[in-house]
Amino acid sequence: METRAGDPGAFAHFDLSRVSSPAFVVDAAKLRANCQVLADIRDAAGIKVLAALKAFSMWSTAPIIGEYLDGVCTSGLWEARLASEFYDGEIATYSAAYKPEELEEVLRLSDHVIFNSPGQLERASLILDAARAAGHDFDVGLRINPLSPQGEVPRYDPSSPGSRLGFPIDQLTPEIMEQVDGIHFHNLCEQDFEPLHATWDVVFDALEPYFGQLKWINMGGGHHITRADYQREELIEFLKDAKEDTGAEIYLEPGEAVALDAGILVGTVLDTGWNGMPLAVADISATCHMPDVIEAPYRPAMLGEAQDENIEPVRIGGPSCLAGDVIGDYRFAEGPEVGTRFAFLDQAHYSMVKTNTFNGVQLPSIYLWDSETDQLELVREFGYETFRDRLS
């Protein structure tokens, strides 16, 4: 999988020695710029935009997101709790399956509660009735599976054959649609406008009999709206037409677009060697700090990587015992030597939320930097106790 992000932006001028290592550094100014783009789309199209916490849940930045967007979408009880504690605006919660003992609190916290199947919704009917009787106000939604593969990698494509995500669109019935206030579909992964348009062509035909009946249609996330080459004008016209055609409120739930190119992961070379090619062992781990490098897989962009093809690339790996803990092969203008600082770009979304302490590898500290004011704040650092207290 090839990343379509990696613009260094203001990080091109950031002194990596200002922070500890390893460390995530998030640029507040870039977050504001991304959110402004999303807000402009929202205002021009007359829709609502929610930030997906599953992609970026650095809650110290919640005031920035709340200043621009309409709320957040969450993936279950704990994210809904986080949203209720720190974020402004609406909360829309979707989970592939809810535990009955958790659903009551999800209903209390959320404005939209979206189910993955009519069967789940039916089994939850008594809990829904009790929550409404207790005075909780929420809409019920159903996630549909458009059955229209658009993704580059099957494991990231909700419409891949046999997917468990969403109710197959060809199984919808009037009886099912009578039970829901809104419909949710999420069919993209870091993609531009055309895959959304292709998905909507399929969804439109299935939902057209229910236009006027639905309060809202949530088109999910995966929209790379803040990428410089995204077709924003086409998106605006599309959203206007969808709102007019359906008579429903239209929602988008961008995740990576909120934090696109807004963060770096800073590391240090701990050792060097040779085994058929130059090697470097760093305090950054693919498996512990950026798992998508292995899961997708993809090659993250390096800040300031040399472009001279005559320079022999160095294979960078992490300190864990996993043989596959390899980030990739990169060209350094000089070195690298033990102690060399370096950074990978576009690491705010889906890296921070996926970190783990396998092998007792240290979690990166978290810094918030404002490239407009140059203010740098250490938000959090993690010690041995973080590793110890995960298990017993």
Distance, CA of 115 to CA of 94 (rounded, Å): 6
The model's confidence at residue 2, banded by pLDDT at 50, 70 and 90, is: low
Whole-angstrom distance, CA of residue 183 vs CA of residue 143: 6
Judge whether residue 377 has pLDDT over 80: yes
In the three-class reduction of DSSP (H, G, I as helix; E, B as strand; rest coil), residue 196 is classed as: helix
pLDDT at 385 over 70: yes
What counts of helices (H) and strands (E) characterise the chain? 13, 17
Integer-rounded Cα Rg, in Å, for the chain is 22
β pairing state of 167-168 and 139-145: parallel
99 CB burial (10 A radius; 0-12, 13-18, 19+): exposed
For residue 8, say if its preceding peptide bond is cis, omega within 30 degrees of 0.
no
Q: For residue 83, which of 69, 62, 67 has the smallest C-alpha distance?
A: 62
The architecture in CATH of the region 9-25+262-388 reads Beta Barrel (2.40)
Collapsing DSSP to helix, strand or coil, 331 comes out as: coil
Q: What angle do CA 33, 35, 40 make, to 5 degrees?
A: 95
Comparing C-alpha atoms, which of 101, 132, 208, 115 is closest to residue 167? Answer: 115
**How many other C-beta atoms are found inside a 10 Å radius of the C-beta of residue 343?**
26
| 3-state class (DSSP) for residue 345 | strand
Rounded to the nearest 5 degrees, what angle is found at the Cα of 205, between the Cα atoms of 202 and 208? 140
Query: Please, what is the average pLDDT of the chain?
Result: 96
pLDDT of residue 50: 98
Whether this prediction's pTM lies above 0.75 is answered by: yes
> Under DSSP, is residue 234 helix (H, G, I), strand (E, B) or coil?
helix
309: number of CA atoms within 13 Å, CB side?
0
Sign of CA dihedral 166, 230, 6, 375: negative
* Mean pLDDT of the 352-365 span: 97
Residues 6+ apart with CB under 8 A from 175: none
Residue labelled with tokens 């059955």: 147
Give the residue-averaged pLDDT of 343-350. Answer: 97
Burial of 125 (0-12, 13-18, 19+ CB in 10 A): exposed
Q: Which neighbouring-strand residues pair with 198?
A: none
pLDDT at 1: 63
Distance separating alpha carbons of residues 159 and 145, to the nearest angstrom? 6
46-259 in CATH: which number?
A: 3.20.20.10
Q: What is the distance between the alpha carbons of residues 103 and 93, in angstroms, rounded to a whole number?
A: 11
AA identity, residue 229:
D
**Which residue is listed with tokens 């930097």?**
369
Domain boundaries defined on the chain: 9-25+262-388, 46-259
* Mean pLDDT (whole number) for 334-360: 97
Summarised one tens digit per residue, pLDDT across range 167-222 is: 999 999 999 999 999 999 999 998 999 999 999 999 999 999 999 999 999 999 99
> Does residue 363 sit in helix, strand or coil?
coil
Express the helix, strand and coil content of the chain in percent, nearest 5 each. Answer: 35, 20, 45
**In this predicted structure, what is the pLDDT of residue 155?**
85
Q: How far does Cα 209 stand from its chain's mean position? A: 32
- C-alpha 161 chain-centroid distance: 23
Instruction: Give the residue-averaged pLDDT of 18-33.
Output: 98
How many Å apart are CA 6 and CA 346, to the nearest integer? Answer: 6
Q: What mean pLDDT comes out for the span 281-301?
A: 96
Q: Is 324 helix (H, G, I), strand (E, B) or coil?
A: coil
